[in-house]
Chain A
Amino acid sequence: MKQKVATTVNGRRHEHEVEPRLLLVHHLRDNLGLTGTHIGCDTSQCGACTILVDGKAVKSCTMFALQAEGKNLQTIEGLAKDGELHPIQQAFWDEHGLQCGYCTPGFIMASAYLLSQNPNPTEDEIRKGLEGNLCRCTGYVNIIKAVQSAAKTMSSPSAKKTTVAAGGN
């Protein structure tokens, strides 16, 4: 039997009736049309479906849609503001941090969480912070560069204040 779920996604409130077994990632993709969140493994290894739930990085295949009741969600589509790329997106572009692009939204969201917790991570801390995401194209070399570059941009005094987590907590 379907049940009601209300969430705030990228700042907008949504209400849907969903099957209890529906995964959050399917809810985002199929009901909300937010197809930037990808599915790569079905077993929570690859992290392509990573989003922010109340500011924390979560693999959206590990949650039922119903568990997101009342939560603040941010997906890759909510990161750029007013047509301007988020510094992490810009850094992935500048550093060639993506090739096929399929894992990229998950990496960017996981990086957003990492940098919200640790604005100036070392290379080791980046490797540790992104260990839940898999990429098959880049050998991770330029992903690390991108996160380093984003950290630099975001922590520079002239950087505009950017909301990393929709929840603002």
Chain B
Amino acid sequence: MSELAQRKARPVHVFLPHRAGLPRLSTYFVTLWRRRHFAIELSRASMRAAHTNTFFGQFWLVISPALNAAVYFLLVNIIRGGNSGPDFFIHLLAGLFAFNFISATMTAGADSVVRGGSLVLNTAFPLLLLPWSSLRTAFFRFLPSLLILLAFFAYFDWIGPHPMACDQVTGECVALNTVHFSVVQLMAIPAFALIFVFAAGLGALMATVQVYFRDTSQFLPYATRIWLYLSPVLYFADQLQPWMLKVELFNPLYPLLGVWTDTLARGVMPPLTWWLGATAWALGSLLIGTLYFISREREFAVRI
């Protein structure tokens, strides 16, 4: 290569002070896109590493959601006196798996930057790739859990019993198994897209907070458990007391999990207000989480 051609090939980088704490976003996201393979590789490598020393290996991806479902089914059935049927079980699985996806993104996202250690200190790259890599990992761990859900769904629809619950006094009977494959279930795809976007923002937010308060990841397990109990996962949304419904206005997961479980588990089209609420929470979380992360990320190198 001639000297001139070599010189032309050299990229010129100009580093200027950030305006209002933010780098130029267009440049930032172009670089982010170019280096996406880093996030993909990191996620793949960590998934491989997570199961290398275990007996069941990659099967844990299916075993753990199944065990999780069993634990919660047992818990809820004991508390509720064992009169819940297939409808409830499918609702529980769908809600629980989506909730686990969100909480996994939060937990892994919180650690992503701090664990990035020397890479963060030594390499100039868009750090948003770190929580987004955790997001990818959480998503690929979530996918196998859908297989479990599908298996139960198919069983209840085609093979399983169709029990009725009858009121002792009035004699009115209700079917406990209304599980049916339907077209409405396709709406679960946009519903999950909203959950995904919401989790992306939340993961970035937690990653930032963790840099400033290292106890964040210690708090998270408790915070997520409380959040789970406050969200319509272990019960149907319409079983809430009226006063609690008012509180749920401030719970992003009420509309987000609401649209997801209604479409997927019940095959019912949720009201428009739920869709609008879910969209607002998702976009709000993405915007706030991402911008907060980017505005702080250049400080990370001197903070970790």
Task: Tell me whether A and B are bound partners.
Answer: no
Binding site for A on B (CB under 8 A): none
